[in-house]
Amino acid sequence: MTKKQRILEIKKRFLEHYPNPKTELKYRNIYELLVCVMLSAQCTDKRVNIVTPALFARYPTPEMLAKADIKELKEIIKSVSFFNNKASNLIKMANQIINDFDGKIPTSQEELKTLAGVGQKTANVVLIEYFEANYMAVDTHVFRTSHRLGLSKEKTAIATEVELTKLFKTDLSILHQAFVLFGRYICKAIKPECHNCFVVDFCTSKSNFKPA
């Protein structure tokens, strides 16, 4: 099997196995999605979903979040990793939304990246989930599984994103979500469930690859 055939077969199997994958973050609009994704950095979706009901009840709009008392906000999200920095960035982000974007969440990658606490991965995840944009976002799950499958040897998440985008070209939003779920439940960092794996014949290593 050639490299191109291998890539196409892996893509085919992922699309068949995950026909309509979605984030496990719970949200009702793009504002809530953005906040959820910001909170999820180096934190589990499960943990984020525990704190966001109280967060959105208290700050249901960017306008209200912009005026939040940082001590109160920290208290609400204190069980989330790096809650001090995240609380500060959330308030800054909300103020930018009000001052720079007339209270509306920007919908382009470059504009999203101007917001406090929003890097390329966060921007891409928002666009993938909300608009099914043809982007690839690389978190720890995508990084680990793509390296185990021999799809990338890059050392950073951004470089891996570029490589996967070139390899797959289309259906990137579906593939991103599929790789996340695959890495979370099957190709786990510790004790991967190889007996349940639908691409086990393409696996090159069980090493727990992490971005540099």
pLDDT band, very low/low/confident/very high, at 141 (cuts 50, 70, 90): very high
CA distance 24 to 143: 18
Q: Among 67, 71, 121, 191, which one carries the catalytic annotation?
A: 121
Is 26 assigned a catalytic role? no
pLDDT tens, 92-113? Answer: 999 999 999 999 999 999 999 9
What is the amino acid identity at position 115? L
Is 139 assigned a catalytic role? yes
Average pLDDT rounded to a whole number, residues 140-159: 97
Q: How many residues does the chain have?
A: 212
Nearest to 176 by CA among 112, 116, 113, 131: 131
CA distance 159 to 16: 26
**Residue 158 CB: number of other CB atoms within 10 A?**
13
What is the average pLDDT value for the chain, to the nearest integer? 97
- Structure confidence at residue 195 (pLDDT): 96
**Helices (H), ranges, the chain:** 3-17, 30-39, 45-58, 62-66, 70-77, 83-100, 109-112, 120-131, 140-148, 157-168, 172-185
